[in-house]
Chain A
Amino acid sequence: MQQQQQPAAKELHSNQLAMQVVRRLSKRLQKRQQAESGATAADLIQMVRREAVACAGRDPVDAVSQNACRRVLKILREEAVHSLGASAQLLSSLQNNLFSERPIDYSQVKADSLRDAVSAAIKELLLELETSLDDLRSHGAAHIGENEVVLTLGYSHSVARVLQTAAATRKFQVIVCDSGPNFSGSRMLQLLKTVPQIDASLITDAHAFAVMSRVHRCLLSAQTVFADGGLRAECGTHGLLLAAKRHSVPVLVCTPAHKLAPAYHSVERANVYLNPACLLEENLSFAEVHCPKYDLVPPGLVTLFVTNLGGLAPAHLHRCLAEQYHQDDYSIDAGEADGDASVLDEE
């Protein structure tokens, strides 16, 4: 219960947050199946969709919870399709458009018949989420070479793990941008100073362009990755990536696959604005002060996305999306959350 409160939630890594959502959904699915004998797959799907809307309502910037709901929806849909028979195809593609016989009717599938298959699939999903950061760091570490200069921004758990893993077998230099307004870069520096093979130094965000010509690689994380290759990332990332593009420095974004959202940079405008008191000492009554937490980075600036499933070129993000989520779940409208205010209390 205490995980629902704001302060504790900030400390959760993204995969832990995703696992929390999946476990909650799993319990609710089981309860629904036990309580209602006539429940169909369509009912379960509707219930999970409403939860996704509720997640979006609680925190519009948090794509991870919604993505976790989408993964569960994919599991439900897949198992329903298996029980209907092999001719119903799931992936929307040119081939399936032509050759599948009929549209899939989820209300034909009884929830009881799915119970074992769904719980097994959810167990696999939880395992995948749990090991996602470990898989990510081994894939990421391969991209850092001996004696290279790596530039990073602020503190990111994924990037820290990748750098630590790489440092086990080679020496290299890391330059950390301190990243206002919360200056998380110094936390990253403290951590990297404890790693023997890394030569870490701290610079201000504004200095990034000046050092970029000496940098071999930029290694960053993001809060969300959009389907067109855009990002929602820590404030300062956009400027850094523009500098990297100018100097033709490859940019690697290390994110686990559950941060990949079927949303588009051109459409997404959600951002979090912080209290400017963290930057300004006195209250400037004549000025309007904006203190955004995230940058919305347009597509075209990232060279490679390093995920727990391996390296992913920006042109292939849509394929990874199509494998993870079902196309009908890409957009979940607010109109579906009718009257289900007790979502949080059903534990």
Chain B
Amino acid sequence: MGSAESPLEMFNRLMGAEEDKSAVEAQIQTLIAVIQQSEEAQTVTEVREKIVETNNELMRSHLANASVRSGGELFLRYITMTELDQPRFDDTRRVLISRGENFLSRIRQSLDRIMSMALPFINHGTRVLLHSRSKVVLALLKRAAKAQLDFQCTVTQSLPDKSGERMLADLQQAGINASLVLDAEVGVALERVDMVLLGAEAVTQSGGIVNKIGTYTVCLCAHALNVPVYVLAESCKFLRAYPLNQADLDLELRYPASAERTRTKSGGQCRSPITDYTPPQYLKLLFTDIGIVPPSAVSDELTKLYL
């Protein structure tokens, strides 16, 4: 990061430089740079405060999503749990940076692990329903196509940003048999599919997921029609939040940074959220880099980590 570049600018630059860059990756790279540049900090607490400040700043980026919150919290946990009893703070700083790079390399490997676990679930003749655009799901389907598997995809258009259309283009470019349906058509489309494959912006401690608006509806319909819902999510997306319904989901996660987050009391315009929360009872299995787990396992993992 250049001397004049703020963490927010660096984050935006990293996200813009590469297509489909993982927000958590960009965030960790930014945080490592922040630690490297924090020469005036001479204690771990000061570094920690700087990281918290940076995370809050990054959440205000229009390119950030809910995974930035979980990634930041995990990184902080990482920092506070290491053995840091070097006599000079510069050595401590070096340890923090090397641990940060270790964390980063693990995140980069997690995608591959998820794909190898999920691939056996796609066979010849499998019909999949997808919602909006997910980088992880796209990578999995491309891998399945390379393995010469003959399957069909149905993608929802996913308003308001029509990200489903972008997903359709990517799938067709990879030679995958894919078609587009309207968001309202989901109930009808579910009759003709064998499973629903979703990504997630965050996985909450309850085992539910925070994902593009419309996911909750898709999962409710799938549950009613006995279609299994599988979620592909890296473990760095595990978030320490326990929403019980839509209203419990933080405003910060629900609305994009650029929109007005506060709802006006006097009947002012309430903008539609861009994410929703899907409770765990509608999800069959989560494919993460720590294994294929039922939604109930997320709470165990987070508790083991934070206690």
Of A90-98, A129-137, A244-252, the stretch lying at the interface with chain B is: A90-98
Contacting pair A322 B121 (CB below 8 A) = no
Q: Which residue of B lies closest to A265 (CB)?
A: B228
Contacting pair B120 A319 (CB below 8 A) = no
Contacting pair A93 B103 (CB below 8 A) = no
Which chain B residues numbered 239 to 295 have a C-beta less than 8 Å away from chain A?
A: 284-285, 289-294
* B235 contacts the other chain (CB 8 A): yes
Q: Which residue of B lies closest to A227 (CB)?
A: B292
1/0 per residue A307-339: CB within 8 Å of B? 000000001101100100001001100000000
Contacting pair B78 A319 (CB below 8 A) = no
Contacting pair A267 B305 (CB below 8 A) = no
Contacting pair B292 A95 (CB below 8 A) = no
* B301 contacts the other chain (CB 8 A): yes
Contacting pair A93 B289 (CB below 8 A) = no
Q: Which residue of B lies closest to A95 (CB)?
A: B305
With A92-B291, A98-B78, A264-B121: A315-B296 Cβ-Cβ less than 8 Å: yes
The answer, among B103, B121, B238, B289, for a CB contact under 8 Å with A266, is: B121
Q: Which residues of A contact B285 (CB under 8 A)?
A: 228, 264
Contacting pair B121 A318 (CB below 8 A) = no
Within the complex, the shortest CB–CB distance from B122 to chain A, in Å, comes to 10
Q: Which residues of A contact B77 (CB under 8 A)?
A: 98
Q: Which residues of B contact A315 (CB under 8 A)?
A: 294, 296
Q: Which residues of A contact B235 (CB under 8 A)?
A: 94, 97
1/0 per residue A222-256: CB within 8 Å of B? 00000110000000000000000000000000000
Q: Which residues of A contact B103 (CB under 8 A)?
A: 98
Contacting pair A97 B81 (CB below 8 A) = no
Q: Which residues of B contact A227 (CB under 8 A)?
A: 292
> In the bound complex, what is the Cα–Cα distance between A97 and B302 (angstroms)?
12
Contacting pair B304 A266 (CB below 8 A) = no
The answer, among B294, B296, B302, for a CB contact under 8 Å with A94, is: B302
Within the complex, the shortest CB–CB distance from B207 to chain A, in Å, comes to 10
Within the complex, the shortest CB–CB distance from A299 to chain B, in Å, comes to 8
Q: Which residues of A contact B293 (CB under 8 A)?
A: 318
Q: Which residues of B contact A93 (CB under 8 A)?
A: 290, 301, 304
Within the complex, the shortest CB–CB distance from A335 to chain B, in Å, comes to 13
Contacting pair A97 B291 (CB below 8 A) = no
Contacting pair A318 B304 (CB below 8 A) = no
- Chain B interface residue bracket vs A: 20 to 34
> In the bound complex, what is the Cα–Cα distance between A107 and B116 (angstroms)?
23
With A94-B301, A95-B305: A331-B81 Cβ-Cβ less than 8 Å: no
Contacting pair A95 B289 (CB below 8 A) = no
* B74 contacts the other chain (CB 8 A): yes
The answer, among B123, B238, B297, for a CB contact under 8 Å with A318, is: B297
Within the complex, the shortest CB–CB distance from B192 to chain A, in Å, comes to 18
Contacting pair B294 A318 (CB below 8 A) = yes
Q: Which residues of B contact A228 (CB under 8 A)?
A: 284-285, 294
Q: Which residues of B contact A331 (CB under 8 A)?
A: 116, 120
> In the bound complex, what is the Cα–Cα distance between A322 and B203 (angstroms)?
21
Q: Which residues of B contact A330 (CB under 8 A)?
A: 291
Q: Which residues of A contact B292 (CB under 8 A)?
A: 227, 264, 318
Q: Which residues of B contact A95 (CB under 8 A)?
A: 301, 304-305
Contacting pair A97 B289 (CB below 8 A) = yes
Contacting pair B121 A319 (CB below 8 A) = no
> In the bound complex, what is the Cα–Cα distance between A93 and B238 (angstroms)?
12
The answer, among A94, A101, A266, A316, for a CB contact under 8 Å with B290, is: A94
* B300 contacts the other chain (CB 8 A): yes
Which chain A residues numbered 182 to 227 have a C-beta less than 8 Å away from chain B?
A: 227
> In the bound complex, what is the Cα–Cα distance between A264 and B195 (angstroms)?
14
Q: Which residues of A contact B120 (CB under 8 A)?
A: 264, 267, 331
Within the complex, the shortest CB–CB distance from B103 to chain A, in Å, comes to 7
Within the complex, the shortest CB–CB distance from A269 to chain B, in Å, comes to 9
The answer, among B116, B284, B297, B302, for a CB contact under 8 Å with A319, is: B297
Within the complex, the shortest CB–CB distance from A331 to chain B, in Å, comes to 7
Q: Which residues of A contact B62 (CB under 8 A)?
A: none
Within the complex, the shortest CB–CB distance from A97 to chain B, in Å, comes to 6
* B162 contacts the other chain (CB 8 A): no
Within the complex, the shortest CB–CB distance from B206 to chain A, in Å, comes to 13
With A228-B285, A315-B294, A319-B297: A94-B121 Cβ-Cβ less than 8 Å: no
Contacting pair A318 B301 (CB below 8 A) = no
Within the complex, the shortest CB–CB distance from B216 to chain A, in Å, comes to 21
1/0 per residue A270-314: CB within 8 Å of B? 000000000000000000000000000000000000000000000
With A99-B81, A266-B121, A315-B296: A94-B291 Cβ-Cβ less than 8 Å: no
> In the bound complex, what is the Cα–Cα distance between A287 and B195 (angstroms)?
33
1/0 per residue B56-85: CB within 8 Å of A? 000000000000000000100110011000
Which residue of A99, A264, A319, A327 has the most chain B CB atoms within 10 A of its CB atom? Answer: A99
Q: Which residues of A contact B106 (CB under 8 A)?
A: 97-98
Q: Which residues of B contact A316 (CB under 8 A)?
A: 296
Q: Told that A98-B103, A98-B305 touch, could you supply 20 new A-B pairs with CB distance under 8 A?
A: A92-B289, A92-B290, A92-B291, A93-B290, A93-B304, A94-B74, A95-B301, A95-B304, A95-B305, A97-B290, A98-B74, A98-B77, A98-B106, A101-B102, A227-B292, A264-B120, A318-B292, A319-B300, A327-B291, A331-B120
Return 5 A-B CB contacts under 8 Å, by A number.
Answer: A94-B290, A94-B302, A95-B305, A266-B228, A316-B296
Chain A positions near chain B (C-beta within 8 angstroms): 92-95, 97-99, 101, 227-228, 264, 266-267, 315-316, 318-319, 322, 327, 330-331
Nearest 3 interchain pairs by C-beta: A94-B301, A315-B296, A95-B305
Chain B positions near chain A (C-beta within 8 angstroms): 74, 77-78, 81-82, 102-103, 106, 116, 120-121, 123, 195, 228, 235, 238, 284-285, 289-294, 296-297, 300-302, 304-305
